[in-house]
Amino acid sequence: MSEGSSQILPVIMCGGSGTRLWPASRDSMPKQFIDLLGENSTFQTAVQRVTAPQVFLRPAVISSNDVRFIVAEQLAQIGAQADIILEPIQRDSAAAIAVAACHAARHSPETIVLVIAADHVIDDPAAFAVACQAAVEPARQGHIMTLGVVPQYPATSYGYIKPGRAIKGTDAYRVERFVEKPNVETAEGYIGQGFLWNSGNFLFRADIMIEELEKFQPAILEAARDALERATTDLDFIRLHEDAFKLVPKISIDYAVMEHTERAGVLPVSFQWSDIGSWGALWDASERDEAGNALRGNVEVVEARNSLVHSDDILTTVVGIDDVVVVAKPDAVLVTSRSRSELVKELVVSMRAKQRPEASEHLRMYRPWGWYQRIDRGSRFQVKRIMVKPGGRLSLQKHYHRAEHWVVVRGTAEVTINQEIVVLHENESVYIPIGSLHRLTNPGRIPLELIEVQVGSYTGEDDIVRVEDIYGR
C-alpha cells in the first residue's frame, strides 16, 4: 500500500453464539447469520459496509470452524470475496485482533486495519465509510482508533469513552479513559460530561497494534503469530494451527490493550449504531408500527404496545399487554419483558446445564450441501426433511445402526448405493440398507427436497462413517 493511499484492510470478527437472542440465535446458527432486520444477515450487511474498492481492500473474516460453510455460503449469496481465517477453538477479541494485525503486516507493517463485529447494525453505511477515512490520519500518526458513538439515551449495556485532548490536524481525540457498563444514573452523568459509547470498532496500523501487544500481552502476540505462521489451507479456508492457538489467553482487546495503552484515540460519530445484544436492543433497531410494535412473521396483536413479536411458523398472538418480547420457533417459545430481555443468556446457561438440545441446536441444521430439518423422532425412528443445493453432494458414508428410506418430493436425486447409481425424480423412492455405502447428489438446476425416514436401534448424528467428502469434513 503506498504512503498516500487511504485504503483500509477490513477484518470482520464473526465469532460468538448470541445467546441473548435465543431461540432465534443458537450455536448451530448464531445471530450474525440470521436475517433479523431485513433480507440479509448482519454479517452480510457488515461485509457490504466495507466493500467500496476506493476505500477498502479485500476483507478478512475471522470465524470458528463450526460455521465456516455458513460464512462461505453467505459471502457467495451477496457476491463478495474474503480471506476466511478459522479459529480452532473459541477465544476472545484480543486473539482475533492479534491474528488480524499479523495477517495485515504480511502485506505491509503500516497497513491500516479496521476491525468490526459481524453482529453490529449501522443505519448509514456511507457515513461509516467517511468516519473510517477520517480515522486513517490519526491511525497513521500511531493512534489505535475507536469509533465513539454519540449517545442516543443513557444505555446501560454499553461501555463508555471519555474523550481527552484533540489529536492535531484531525477531528479525533485522545482517550482519557474507558469505563464499564454503568447504571442509568451514572450513564446520564456520562452523557452530560460528553462521554461516547464504545462501539468496539477499531482502526490502527498493524505495526502499532503489534508493538502494543508486545508491550502488554506478549503471550497473546507470540501464540497468535505462531498459529498464523503454522496455518494450513483447506479448500478456501485458512486454518490457524490448533496447538499454537490453544496457548492464546482468553481476554478481550479492551482489557488486554486498550485500557493500558497511551495510544488510544476516539473519533466521535453520530450515525445510528447497535450491537443487537438483546431482544430489547433489536426492538430499538427495528421498524415499528404506530403502536410501537415490531412485528414479524405469522403474528397478530390486539391492544398491545411497544412489544416485539416474531414467529416464523405457528400463529403467535399477543393481547392486552405491553412492553413484552414474544419469539416463537417450531421447537421453542420465548416470553419475556422487553426491559429484562438480557436475562435470556442466563436461561440458555440453565438449559445447557440440563442438557436440553434446544439450547444450542435448531430443528433446521445447515450443512455445506444444504440443510436438514427434523420432523419427528421416536425410540427407533427419525423423520427428516432434506434440501440439497444444485450441485450439492453429501459424503460417501455408511451407518451401523440404521436403515434409511428416501422419498423425493422435488427435483432430481442421484443416489449411490454400494456399486449401483440410480436417478430418482419426484414421487420416487429408494431404500438404503444398514451398512450400505451410499451417497446423495443433486445433479439438477433446482433444489432437491426429499423426506428421509430412518429406522434402527440408534439414529444419532454420530452414527456416520464418512469414506469420502468433497467438503473436507
> What is the pLDDT, as a whole number, of residue 292?
97
pLDDT on residue 297 = 94
Residue 343: count other Cβ atoms within 10 Å of its Cβ.
12
Residue 382 · residue 365 · CB < 8 Å: no
Distances (CA, A) of 389 to 77, 386, 447, 461: 13, 10, 5, 20
Residue 165 cell numbers, joined:
485532548
Report how far residue 67's alpha carbon sits from residue 14's, in angstroms, rounded to the nearest whole number. 9
Mean pLDDT in consecutive groups of 10 residues from the start of the chain, 473 residues: 64 88 92 90 95 91 91 94 94 94 93 95 93 95 96 90 94 93 92 94 96 96 96 91 93 93 95 91 93 96 97 95 96 95 95 94 91 93 96 95 97 96 96 96 97 95 90 78
Enter the C-alpha cell of residue 432. 438404503
Q: φ and ψ at 157, to 5 degrees? A: -105, 5
pLDDT, residue 12, reads: 97
CB neighbours (10 Å) of residue 168? Answer: 9
pLDDT for res 6: 62
SS3 state of residue 406: strand
Return the residue matching grid coordinates 416485539. 308
At 28 the pLDDT is: 86
**Which pLDDT belongs to residue 419?**
93
Predicted pLDDT of residue 236: 85
Distance, CA of 356 to CA of 385 (rounded, Å): 22
CB atoms within 10 A of CB 59: 23
According to the model, what pLDDT value does residue 1 have?
39
